Structure 1
């Protein structure tokens, strides 16, 4: 079966050097790239190259968007290549995070042609994993800032309000292999390494010009995710990252078995932004006892959204759909009053005090007196979050948006 590797990164020179090294290691590799700089005009520039061709095609899409590009051209092109070449590298546009693309590869049905039944891309190719390219001298600054993609020239779409930090962290966190554009220099080297040790502990780090066959995701351990998105209720710590402090980098593990007061949490939520590289986890608001909310921050950007329901109070069909792992974890931690409801957050801090964040979050939990007042009283509490929320804060949007990065438990996204 044709092997597929997804390659991402914002450092164009580093990505091209990585591609050149891949072609040295495997002269028969095919590189497929869709340049999205004209996406706002409904145009996508496709490039397909191997040892004896370099084809460039301009595609016109009826609806200029990333999902249309994937559905209408990326998947059919992979179907045409499947079985005819040994290895394909899907080089993503710099503005793309790999997780939603990999979700599409494994979940979006399409008709490959030639009379074949509808299938997914991973039915036709072997998705080996994700490779992310980063510059170790600038990555940490990118991953902790609040500049938006349009401000950095990485996106021309007016509705794209993601931060560079969200992109930088999302690319590195989901990678099975990290390729560094240069040896880590002395300035901030220890701190960057410490952050990467905690953000993507299972990913080996290679140099762009001297990468070995691991750049094709060969020889990775069983802990490698290989492009498979996680679920909302998966463990928040993957790959046993170090928990002790290193070069000022510390990890916060926050857990609690009582609901948050929405208004106080809104005041405390900024503590997960300043000095924090990444925060992610599940929260439970007193005003919506059935809803799982997913929190995800990177640098100065945050997403909070509806991510399904708790099993507490759910019917038999919800338990059946939950999957073995989630049912087992819920049963092990079952609370006589709250069931599986819980607060679980992890934050990687590079310039913040985890103890102060912990204190701010615990102060946002309901007090004993508020819990004693009962759930009927909780419904009257002020709730500024709506069903989807952004930080820095604007008016909450009373909608539920589904993020296609999770297969079993769609995560709400802003």
Structure 2
């Protein structure tokens, strides 16, 4: 038998995603669901359904880590099912994003359920992820946006009033451009066509996925902030709160004057924001390290090389729904070094973003709305 196909179901709400998974259950299909509502207590419920059986197992975990719990159970289970059925449908708990799963195993298709009446509210709020462990500081907005960005097919559940539906459609066209949308009432096994199109985040790749419309529609718009001079670290720390209101998604690469060698990755969704280490700018590498960098990154740097800053650049793509792009540009621009500051000693500045120059250092700043 050929390699078993793996389809991942993600999204909100729990019941609608469950309906999508159930509709895919057939004679040559296994549907796996992990219920993580008690993962904070070290308990994971796994339900495995096939055409002839329905078995629920209660697994005790040694910790409350969501990704570790899935990794420890999903990999052995998929290995056992590989070749035994034609398709495995992995129905993720609503608190799980598809991207870590796609990094862990080869996924053929990601289907994300979008609850049309509440999706835009979920993507722009600052509520914590329901039922998440105490140490999990993600917001519902961060999870919902991540589930949408990684999708190959969006399944719309619920019926929103016309204005909400129009704004949601405008946001989806910009957050997941070119990705098909289908009503839950029309969804079935025949909907699973086409290759993987959802993209995993490449912190040194293109910030805009596909070719999203850049113009405003129902107040939803995409804007790109791009400047070459460095940020003043303290002013940037104050300014980035502007990305927490009226913004669905912001992500990009930034550099602060006190860390000329370090690329920082900035990412926000609704009222949640993270800033972390994205490695070293190519301009700070020696020749041998430059040669080891990915070819597409080297090509991009060479085409956009600055005589003073090299490949260092401020690039932030921002998807707004209730914010003025010109105001965002003005606030972020004021956080850049002035001409007089450029001519002075940068090393004396206080740096709230100070982190070790290591790609494994994790977030340097994680905040929500104050």
TM-score range, shorter chain: over 0.9
* Cα separation, 1, equivalents of 2:44 and 2:79: 19
Relative distance call for 1:413 and 1:219 in structure 2 (3 A) is: farther
Shift of 1:211: 1.5
* TM-score (normalised: structure 1): 0.83
Does structure 2 conserve the Cα–Cα contact (< 8 Å) formed by 1:137 and 1:187? no
Shift of 1:167: 1.2
**Cα root mean square deviation, aligned:** 2.0
Q: Aligned pair 1:219/2:194, yes or no?
A: yes
Q: Deviations over 1:124-167 (max 9, x none)?
A: xxx21211112111100111111112xxxx22411122111111
Q: Secondary structure at the match of 2:88?
A: strand
Give ranges in structure 2 of 5+ residues lacking alignment. Answer: none
Shift of 1:400: 6.5
Residue 18 (structure 1) aligns with: 20
Paired positions, count: 364
Does structure 2 conserve the Cα–Cα contact (< 8 Å) formed by 1:165 and 1:301? yes
Q: Secondary structure at the match of 1:379?
A: helix
Q: Secondary structure at the match of 1:180?
A: strand
* TM-score (normalised: structure 2): 0.93
Q: Secondary structure at the match of 2:208?
A: coil
Q: 2:173 aligns with which of 174, 189, 197?
A: 197
Shift of 1:85: 0.8
* Cα separation, 2, equivalents of 1:146 and 1:280: 17
Q: Deviations over 1:342-366 (max 9, x none)?
A: 0000001100000000011111111
Residue 323 (structure 2) aligns with: 352
Shift of 1:367: 1.1
Residue 378 (structure 1) aligns with: 346
How do 1:68-83 residues align onto structure 2 when only pairs under 5 Å count?
Answer: 68-83=68-83
Residue 157 (structure 2) aligns with: 181
Q: Aligned pair 1:86/2:86, yes or no?
A: yes
* Cα separation, 1, equivalents of 2:347 and 2:288: 27
Does structure 2 conserve the Cα–Cα contact (< 8 Å) formed by 1:22 and 1:215? no
Q: Deviations over 1:84-124 (max 9, x none)?
A: 1100111111111111222122xxxxxxxxxxxxxxxx3xx
Q: 2:303 aligns with which of 318, 328, 332?
A: 332
Does structure 2 conserve the Cα–Cα contact (< 8 Å) formed by 1:136 and 1:182? yes
Residue 33 (structure 2) aligns with: 33
Q: Deviations over 1:55-110 (max 9, x none)?
A: 111112233422332332110000011111100111111111111222122xxxxx
Shift of 1:401: 7.6
Residue 128 (structure 1) aligns with: 108
Residue 297 (structure 1) aligns with: 268
Residue 210 (structure 1) aligns with: 186
